[in-house]
Amino acid sequence: QVQLVQSGAEVKQPGASAKVSCKTSGYSFTSYYYHWVRQAPGQGLEWMGIFNPTDGSTSYAQRFQGRVAMTGDTSTSTVYMELSSLRSEDTAIYYCVAETPATKFFDNWGQGTLVTVSS
Amino acid sequence: QTVVTQEPSFSVSPGGTVTLTCGLSSGSVSTRYSPSWYQQTPGQPPRTLIYNTNTRSSGVPDRFSGSILGNKAALTITGAQADDESDYYCALFVGGGTLYVFGTGTKVTVL
């Protein structure tokens, strides 16, 4: 079973970008798809997108199109999520989640990374 | 935009049974949406309970079960325990531009 360890909390100014990392271990990096899910304070879960490390392909939720980029580094077994043009509404915990390919559910969750957007 | 609705809250007595549902704003939920369910306690990441409608994730007690009830996905807790007091979210694979949508979440209180 894959383990996911995310980078630490960040504070960003409005208009800046945030890049969250998620280091995987315990299994082959390319054996999973990787999703990003976020949760604003006191709110529900929101799917942001998916990254396939085998071919680098991505699919993003429509509301994040043009503002999010999900990438991976096979040499370090790490996936990244970068969100640009940050606004206060982007303050949230961002979770990296692994999916066994084509099973269509969120199997292994990272511990989450709090990104705070504040001036 | 697809909206997935859940009851905002439920209260259940210890040992009781509660059924949470997960509905679609546009149509019926079926197995092709691969419904899954997640439990979340404060300050923790979600924990996977059920996937593919009715398959329990590893280590999940059999008092949790998933199904399709009418036109919705459902999660039933049979013999509720105090530590089942959590937020519960469903997720559906809807395809299209936004592949997955989470439900609005249900807060379950055991008292």
Using one digit for the tens of pLDDT, what is the confidence trace for A44-97? 999 999 999 999 999 999 999 999 999 999 999 999 999 999 999 999 999 999
- Across the interface, whether the CB atoms of B48 and A63 are under 8 A apart is answered no
Decide if A23 contacts A76 (C-beta within 8 A): yes
Q: How far, in Å, CA of A91 to CA of A96, rounded?
A: 16
> Within an 8 Å CB–CB cutoff, is residue B2 touching chain A?
no
Name which residue leads in pLDDT, B9 or A102: B9
Decide if A49 contacts A70 (C-beta within 8 A): yes
Interacting residues of A41 by C-beta distance below 8 A, sequence separation 6+: A91, A92
Average pLDDT of chain B? Answer: 96
DSSP-derived 3-state class of residue B84: helix
| pLDDT given for residue B73 in this prediction | 98
Examine the pLDDT at B7 and tell me if it is beyond 90.
yes
Quick: pLDDT tens for B19-60.
999 999 889 999 999 999 999 999 999 999 999 999 999 999
Quick: pLDDT tens for B67-110.
999 999 999 999 999 999 999 999 999 998 899 999 999 999 99
> Within an 8 Å CB–CB cutoff, is residue B56 touching chain A?
no
Residue A83, strand partner residues: A18, A68
Decide if A95 contacts A76 (C-beta within 8 A): no
Which CB contacts under 8 angstroms, 24+ apart, belong to A68-72? A68/A36, A70/A34, A70/A36, A72/A29, A72/A34
> Within an 8 Å CB–CB cutoff, is residue B100 touching chain A?
yes
- Across the interface, whether the CB atoms of B98 and A107 are under 8 A apart is answered no
| pLDDT given for residue B72 in this prediction | 98
Q: Pick A109's closest partner by Cβ from B34, B45, B101.
A: B45
| pLDDT given for residue B1 in this prediction | 84
| pLDDT given for residue A56 in this prediction | 96
Q: How many CB pairs under 8 A join A and B?
A: 61
Examine the pLDDT at A1 and tell me if it is beyond 90.
no
Residues A33-48, mean pLDDT to the nearest whole number:
98
Partners of B8 on chain A (C-beta within 8 Å) are none
Examine the pLDDT at A102 and tell me if it is beyond 90.
no
What is chain A's alpha carbon radius of gyration, rounded to the nearest angstrom?
13
| pLDDT given for residue A114 in this prediction | 98
Cβ neighbours around A9 below 10 Å, total: 12
Examine the pLDDT at A12 and tell me if it is beyond 90.
yes
Residues B9-13, mean pLDDT to the nearest whole number:
97
Identify each DSSP E strand in A18-105 by its residue range.
18-25, 33-39, 45-51, 58-60, 68-73, 78-83, 92-99
Q: Pick B91's closest partner by Cβ from A50, A106, A112.
A: A106
DSSP-derived 3-state class of residue A85: coil
> Within an 8 Å CB–CB cutoff, is residue B47 touching chain A?
yes
Examine the pLDDT at A21 and tell me if it is beyond 90.
yes
> Within an 8 Å CB–CB cutoff, is residue A59 touching chain B?
yes
